[in-house]
A and B are shown apart, each in its own frame.
Chain A
C-alpha cells in the first residue's frame, strides 16, 4: 500500500539568540491510509514541530524548514505555493490542537467557524453548510446542535471545545488528521471520551491519524505504529505491540520503566532516567542520549547511530541495540 503521507529526511531549524536549534534533524516516517501513527516523546523532542512542518505552519522567520520532502498523496508539500498549501490545510489534512480555547476564534460562533470551512473549501451554500454543521456536531456527539451553533467557544466546556475542533478537522472529509496532544489539557474521563471518538471516527470514515503525545498509555490504546523521538530525531519505530513488548532503545526502555502503571505490582521505587532532558542548542557529538544512558559504550560518544532494522518493521537508532535484547527482561 502506498503511504498517504511520507516525510523524508525532514529538517526544521530555529534561529535563536543562542544559535541554531535543530528542532527536527533528519526525520523520516510515514502514515498509511486509515492507520493511526503516533509521534511520542517528551518536551523538546521535535514531535510538535514535525507536525507543524507538515502543515507548513512553522513560525517564520525564526523557524525554517531547511531540508527534506513531505509527500502527501504523492505531491511534495514543501514545493507548493502558499495558495496551493491553503487548499491542503483544512481540506485534505485536518488538525486538532492541544488548547482548544486558543485554537478557536473567540468572537465567532461555533456555527460560523464550522460553516466557514466548508463554504471556503467545498464551495457550499449557506443552507448546505448549515446542514453540514449540524451533521458534524451530531457526529462528534454534541447534543442540541441547533442551539449550540449559535454559541461561542467560551460557553463550551473543555471537552466540548475539543469535540468542536474535531468536527472542524473532519468537516471537509480529509484523508488525514494531525492531532497534537489532543487530550492533554482534559480530565481523564473526558480524555477517554475524546479518544474513543477519534478512534471510532477514524474507523468509520477511514481517516488516517497522526497522534502526537507524551502519554505512553494513550499511544498503547490507540496507535497502530509508533515513532519515539528524542532531541529532534526518531530513535525507535515499530508497531505499538513490538515497541511495548520489546523496546530496543535505552530511552524507550527507560521511559517505559519510569512510568508508574496501574497493571503492574507496585514497585518500591520507580526507575527514573537519570540526568536532564537535552539542551538542543548544545547537543553532544554522537548519540544525543549517551549522557543519560545505562548501556553506553565508547562509540556512542563519537558517532550518531543510524535508525537500523532490529526486527520485522522495527527499527532502533542504537549501537548496542542487539545486546539489549538479551539483557532486558520483558
Chain B
C-alpha cells in the first residue's frame, strides 16, 4: 500500500508559529475521588491534573510528555471533555468549553477530535471501515446527501493511503498500522482544527511507527491541523513537535520550543528523562553520562510537599520540600518550575 498523498518535500517550519491561538488551557485542575462509598473507608483525592496552563497556535504541534501518572492523558481527556474538569478554563477557538451548554459544546466538539493509542480497542469490531468513517459525518450532519457522503468517505480513505475497497473490511482483518490509519481517517471526517493524539504510535511495531508519524505530519501540512501530541517516547516527540511541555505528577515542570528542550533542558526531571532514553548506538551509549533517578514515582494519593519532584531529585535542597516552585521564564521563551535554576 502506498501513501497516495502528495508528499510535500519542503521542510516543516520547526519553530514556534506566530499564528492565532487555537487552544488556551488555563489552570486546568482535575481531581478524582477514590475510596469511600458504601463500604466506608476514607475518601481520598487524586490530583491527576493540578493547575496546568498552555497555549497551542494554529498549525503547531505541542508535545505533552511524561511518565505514567503525570496527568498528560487526563489533560487530553479534559480538553476532549471525556472527563469534566474540576476547575479551570479550556478556551478553544475563542470559546470557553467549560462554560458552554450541551448543545453548544456538541457543536464545538466537532472541531476537536482524537486519535487513540490502542488500535485494537478503539475500533468497533462490528462496523466496517467505511461505516466507522461515515459515522462522524452522520452524527454531525455533514454532507447529508448520500452521494456526497460516499465521496467524502472515499476521499478520507485516500488521505490516509487506502484504496476505496478498504471500506468494506472489518477491523480484525487489518494490521495495527492499518487500524491506526482508520482511526486517523475517522478523526479527520468532521474537519477538525485540533486533534488530540494520545500515544498514537506506541502500540505499533517500530517499522510501522515511522509510517504513521510521516502520515500525521503530511496531513498536518496539507490540512493546516493543530496537534496536541501526548506521548512518553521522547524520540518520537522530538521528531514531530514544535514545542514540548514536560509533566510530572499533575504539573508542568518545563515548557519551551522543541530544540531548546532537547539541547538545553533546564529542569532536573527533564534531564533525567532524556538521560534515561537509550540511543541505538553502542559506542555512544558506552560513553554517555547517565542520571539514574532513585526511587519510585510517588503515589498521587500522597504527593510530596513543596516541589512534587523533590523526593527523587538529584539536586533537591531543604527549600524544595517547603515551597511549590512557580513555572517561570528561565530563558527567553523557556519556562521551568524549579527553585534551583
Chain A residues in the interface with B (C-beta under 8 A) = 42-43, 157, 159-160, 187-193, 195-196, 214-221, 240-241, 244-245, 254-256, 258-263, 266-277
A55 to B12, CA, bound (A): 50
Asked if B207 and A258 make an inter-chain contact with CB atoms under 8 angstroms apart, the answer reads: yes
A266 CA / B11 CA spacing, docked (Å): 11
Q: Can you name the residue of chain A whose Cβ is closest to the Cβ of B237?
A: A260
Residues on A with C-beta less than 8 A from B46 are none
Q: List 12 A-B contacts (CB under 8 A).
A: A195-B278, A196-B290, A215-B278, A217-B285, A245-B283, A262-B277, A263-B281, A268-B12, A270-B214, A273-B207, A273-B210, A276-B208
Closest residue of A by beta carbon distance from B236: A260
Cα distance A216–B284 in the bound complex, in angstroms:
13
Kindly state whether residue B68 has any CB partner on chain A within 8 Å: yes
> How far is A274 from B273 in the complex, measured between Cα atoms in Å?
31
CB contacts (< 8 Å) of A215 on chain B: these are 278
Q: Which of B123-131, B138-146, B189-197, B291-299 contacts A (4 or more CB under 8 A)?
A: B291-299
Q: Is B166 an interface residue (CB 8 A)?
A: no
For B299, the closest partner residue in chain A by CB is: A157
Q: Determine if A261 and B68 form an interchain contact, defined as CB atoms under 8 angstroms apart.
A: no
Within 8 Å by CB of A244, from B2, B9, B282, lies: B282
Residues of A within 8 A of B210 (CB): 258-260, 270-273
Given contact pairs A189-B293, A221-B279, a sample of 9 additional A-B residue pairs in the complex whose CB atoms are under 8 Å apart: A214-B206, A218-B278, A258-B210, A259-B235, A260-B213, A262-B279, A269-B7, A270-B213, A270-B239
- Say whether B290 contacts A192, CB under 8 Å: yes
Q: Is B175 in contact with chain A by the CB < 8 A criterion?
A: yes
Contact of B207 among A220, A244, A261, A277 (CB under 8 A): A277
Residues in chain A near residue B9, CB distance under 8 A? 268
Known contacts A42-B206, A187-B232: A220-B281 contact under CB 8 Å: yes
Interfacial chain B residues near A196, Cβ < 8 Å = 290, 292
CA distance A254 to B211 in the complex (A): 12
Specify which chain A residues have a CB less than 8 angstroms from the CB of B175 in the assembled complex. 276-277
B174 and chain A: residue at smallest CB distance: A276
- Report the minimum CB–CB distance from A188 to chain B (whole Å): 5
Cross-chain contact of B238 among A192, A260, A271 (Cβ < 8 A): A260
Please give, as numbers and ranges, the residues of chain A lying within 8 Å of B284 by CB-CB distance.
Answer: 220, 263
- Give the most central of B206, B209, B279: most A CB within 10 Å: B206
* Chain A residues near B7 (CB-CB < 8 A): 269
Which residues 46-71 of B have a CB within 8 angstroms of A?
67-68
Contact A187 B68 (CB under 8 A): yes
Q: SS class of chain B's interface: helix, strand, loop or mixed?
A: helix
B205 in contact with A277 (CB, 8 Å): yes
Closest CB of chain A to B244's CB: distance in Å?
13
In the complex, which range does the number of interface residues on chain B fall in?
35 or more
Q: Which residues of the partner chain A approach B1 to less than 8 Å between Cβ atoms?
A: 275-276
Instruction: Tell me the complex Cα distance, A67–B9, Å.
Output: 50
Cβ of B38 to closest chain A Cβ, rounded Å: 21
Partner of B279, one of A159, A189, A261, A266: A261
- Which residues in A have their C-beta under 8 angstroms from that of B279? 217, 220-221, 261-263
List, in ascending order, chain A residues with CB within 8 A of B2's CB: 274
- Is B178 close to A, CB under 8 A? yes
Contact of A217 among B14, B68, B236, B280 (CB under 8 A): B280
Please tell me if the beta carbons of B283 and A188 are within 8 angstroms of each other in the complex.
no
Q: Are A193 and B292 CB-contacts (below 8 A) given A188-B273, A262-B234?
A: yes
Question: Contacts of A267 on B, CB cut-off 8 Å?
Answer: 239
Interface 0/1 of B9-42, CB less than 8 Å to A: 1011010000000000000000000000000000
Contact residues in A for B207 (Cβ distance below 8 Å) = 42, 254-255, 258, 272-273, 277
Inter-chain contacts of B209 with A (CB < 8 A): 258-259, 272
A216: which B residues are within 8 A, CB to CB? 206, 280
| Contact in complex: A269, B214 (CB < 8 Å) | yes
Task: Check A217 against B278 for contact (C-beta < 8 Å).
Answer: yes
Q: Within the complex, which residue of A189, A245, A255, A263 is in contact with B272, where a contact is CB–CB below 8 Å?
A: A189
| Cα distance A189–B262 in the bound complex, in angstroms | 16
Q: Are B262 and A157 in contact (CB under 8 A)?
A: no
Give complex CA distance A273, B1 in Å. 12
Residue in B closest to A224 when the chains form the complex, CB atoms:
B282
Contact present for A262 and B11 (CB under 8 Å): no
Once A42-B206, A259-B210, A269-B217 are accepted as A-B contacts, the answer to whether A190 and B282 lie under 8 Å apart by CB is no
Q: Are B280 and A219 in contact (CB under 8 A)?
A: yes
Check B208 against A220 for contact (C-beta < 8 Å). no
Nearest neighbor of A187 in chain B, beta-carbon distance: B67
Query: Once the chains bind, are B214 and A272 in contact (CB under 8 Å)?
Result: yes
Residue in B closest to A269 when the chains form the complex, CB atoms: B214
Listed residue (B67, B272, B277) with the most chain A CB atoms within 10 angstroms of its CB: B277
Q: Is B88 an interface residue (CB 8 A)?
A: no
Closest chain B CB from A148 CB (angstroms): 13
B292 engages A192 (CB within 8 Å): yes
B274: interface (CB < 8 Å): yes
CB distance from A265 to the nearest CB of B (A): 11
Interface residues in B169-207 (C-beta closer than 8 Å to A)? 175, 177-178, 205-207
Closest to A195 in B: B278
CB distance from B272 to the nearest CB of A (A): 6
Q: Are B208 and A277 closer than 8 Å at their CB atoms?
A: yes
CB contacts (< 8 Å) of A277 on chain B: these are: 175, 205, 207-208
> With a CB–CB cut-off of 8 A, which chain B residues contact A256?
280
Say whether B276 faces chain A, with CB atoms less than 8 Å apart. Answer: yes
